Structure 1
Amino acid sequence: MLKLKIFNMKNFLETVNECSGVVNLLYTDGSEENINKKYGIQNELLKKHRENKGCLRLSLNIPTIKDYFRIVYFTIGDC
């Protein structure tokens, strides 16, 4: 599991959509939902990001190691 604080949602979602496998968003009830190339869910995340004044906390489960590091590297570079 990876917990992130996203400031640049547009670039974050571009990075997610470059992943080859699933990128699961974890909800507080324990359920998961793939957000990779799921544009309806991504639009909801963009809306929440705007409502939170440009910051959104997400918990992700990324089973493919290459995709995991792609998102970690994005996060490190976005600081």
Structure 2
Amino acid sequence: MIKLNILNMEGFLQVVNSCKDAVNIIQPDGRKEDINKKYDIQRGLQNRYHENRGRLPLSLDIPNSKDYLRIVYYSIDER
């Protein structure tokens, strides 16, 4: 699991959608929900991001190690 504070939702979603396997958001009730190429869910995240004035904290579970590193590297270099 990784906790991120998303500051650039468009860039984050581009990286998520480039992943090979699931990228799961961990919901407050512990349920996991895949957001990779799930555009309805992504629209909801974008709405929350805008409601929070350009910031969105997320907890993610990323089973594929290459996908995990892709997202970690993006978050380090997030612009």
TM above 0.5, one fold? yes
Residue 23 of structure 1 corresponds to 23
Residue 3 of structure 1 corresponds to 3
**Structure 1 stretches of 4+ moved >4 Å:** none
Q: CA deviation at 1:39?
A: 0.1
Instruction: Count residues in correspondence.
Output: 79
Name the amino acid aligned to 1:67.
D
TM-score, normalised via structure 2 length: 0.98
Q: How does 1:11-50 map to 2 (within 5 A)?
A: 11-50=11-50
Q: Structure 2: 5+ residue runs without aligned partners?
A: none
2: distance between equivalents of 1:70 and 1:32?
20
Q: Structure 1: 5+ residue runs without aligned partners?
A: none
Residue 55 of structure 1 corresponds to 55
Q: CA deviation at 1:58?
A: 0.2
Query: Cα RMSD over matched residues?
Result: 0.7
Percent sequence identity over matched residues?
52
